């Protein structure tokens, strides 16, 4: 697809102007690409202040990963994730809803138009990437159910399949983590237009190691919130726990908003190593409040103490 020809070149990927957005659609049409791949204007706004010059090379985004179900080293998911079966795949929406539903990934892909957005991705370990995702806003999926008034949070669950995920059956490989991996969001965060369910990246289907066939992307939060290979979304009344809260709640909080002013107990969050092109390209850049999406999301936290609610 077109985007892969230009994947290292942001100017050519055209993420900076409405005019380019329209041109891109024309070009995609010319190439006969049928899915409605578009770059949403609100994502452009969020990214503008970065003056993104570099998209992280695809080969780095798919070989430098955290997916502990396949091992603890950054290179393990790339080597081990081929054993994950991503078809057939079902996702349930359960809990505080009028009627629980189960959808297949193929139904979802047929039904919800796919858009493309380039987002900054900032890991709590202080490295970052810029990745063009394909997917849809999570609210499109949640709107398929009638959410009850008492639902205040959303809990997500990764597939549990020890025979497909080596780290789930072997604690030495998968760390002493209680699987399945779980995560959560407040309901307004889940419904926010920047919150995506990614089904692809760089114009292709998601590689298994990046969370196929569908994973969460919350660009203003640390990467561990972006849970992979989701099988269940549950609407709940009380703040749910998460894998990282279960492991070390004093280091990893529920909110996990990117914040250069709140250090991790063991390192500063003021800077990050941006993973761009070239062999030694780990460029140090300042970390921005809410990962640069402050205008879009800060109002959700205006009455919250961001030091206490880290």
Q: Which is nearer to ligand MTE, 69 or 164 (CB)?
A: 69
Q: Which is nearer to ligand MTE, 52 or 97 (CB)?
A: 52
Q: Which is nearer to ligand MTE, 226 or 257 (CB)?
A: 226
- For the bound state, the minimum distance from the C-beta of residue 158 to ligand MTE, rounded and expressed in Å, comes to 4
- For the bound state, the minimum distance from the C-beta of residue 223 to ligand MTE, rounded and expressed in Å, comes to 3
Closest chain position to ligand MTE (CB): 223
- For the bound state, the minimum distance from the C-beta of residue 99 to ligand MTE, rounded and expressed in Å, comes to 27
Q: Which is nearer to ligand MTE, 78 or 153 (CB)?
A: 78
CA-CA distance, 80 to 82, in Å (whole number)?
6
Helices 41-48 and 18-30: crossing angle, nearest 10°?
130
H helix or E strand, kind and range, residue 285:
strand 282-286
What are the structure tokens assigned to 33, written together? 């690409």
Using CB under 6 A, list all residues that contact ligand MTE: 65-69, 123, 158, 181, 210, 223-224, 226-229
- For the bound state, the minimum distance from the C-beta of residue 268 to ligand MTE, rounded and expressed in Å, comes to 18
Going by the DSSP 8-state scheme, the letter that residue 236 receives in this structure is: E
- For the bound state, the minimum distance from the C-beta of residue 199 to ligand MTE, rounded and expressed in Å, comes to 13
- For the bound state, the minimum distance from the C-beta of residue 1 to ligand MTE, rounded and expressed in Å, comes to 20
Q: Which is nearer to ligand MTE, 28 or 197 (CB)?
A: 197
Q: Which is nearer to ligand MTE, 211 or 292 (CB)?
A: 211
269-276: long-range contacts, CB 8 A cutoff, minimum separation 24: 269/124, 269/126, 271/126, 272/122, 272/126, 272/127, 272/128, 273/126, 273/127, 273/128, 274/54, 274/127, 274/128, 274/129, 274/130, 275/56, 275/60, 275/64, 275/127, 275/128, 275/129, 276/54, 276/56, 276/57
């Amino acid at each position: 697809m077109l985007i892969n020809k230009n994947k290292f070149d942001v100017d050519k990927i055209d993420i900076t102007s409405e005019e380019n957005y329209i041109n891109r659609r024309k070009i995609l049409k010319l190439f006969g690409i049928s899915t409605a791949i578009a770059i949403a204007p609100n994502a452009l706004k969020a990214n503008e202040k970065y003056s993104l010059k570099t998209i992280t090379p695809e080969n780095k985004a798919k070989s430098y990963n955290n997916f502990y179900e396949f091992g603890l080293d950054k290179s393990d998911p790339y080597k081990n994730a081929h054993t994950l079966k991503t078809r057939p795949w079902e996702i349930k929406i359960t809990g505080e809803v009028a009627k629980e539903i189960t959808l297949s990934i193929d139904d979802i892909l047929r039904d919800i138009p796919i858009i493309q957005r380039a987002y900054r991705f900032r890991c709590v370990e202080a490295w970052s990437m810029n990745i063009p995702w394909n997917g849809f806003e999570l609210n499109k999926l949640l709107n398929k159910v009638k959410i009850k008034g008492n639902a205040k949070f959303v809990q997500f669950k990764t597939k549990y399949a020890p025979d497909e995920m080596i780290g789930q059956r072997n604690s030495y490989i998968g760390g002493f983590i209680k699987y399945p991996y779980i995560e959560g969001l407040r309901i307004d965060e889940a419904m926010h237009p920047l919150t995506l369910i990614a089904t692809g990246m760089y114009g292709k289907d998601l590689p298994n190691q990046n969370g196929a066939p569908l994973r969460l992307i919350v660009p203003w939060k640390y990467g561990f919130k972006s849970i992979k290979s989701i099988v269940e979304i549950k609407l709940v009344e009380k703040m749910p726990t998460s894998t990282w809260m279960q492991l070390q709640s004093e280091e990893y909080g529920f909110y996990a908003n990117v914040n250069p002013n709140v250090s991790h107990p063991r390192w500063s969050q003021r800077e990050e190593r941006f993973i761009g092109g070239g062999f030694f390209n780990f460029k140090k850049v300042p970390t921005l409040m809410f990962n640069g999406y402050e205008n879009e999301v800060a109002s959700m936290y205006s009455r919250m103490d961001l030091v206490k609610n880290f």
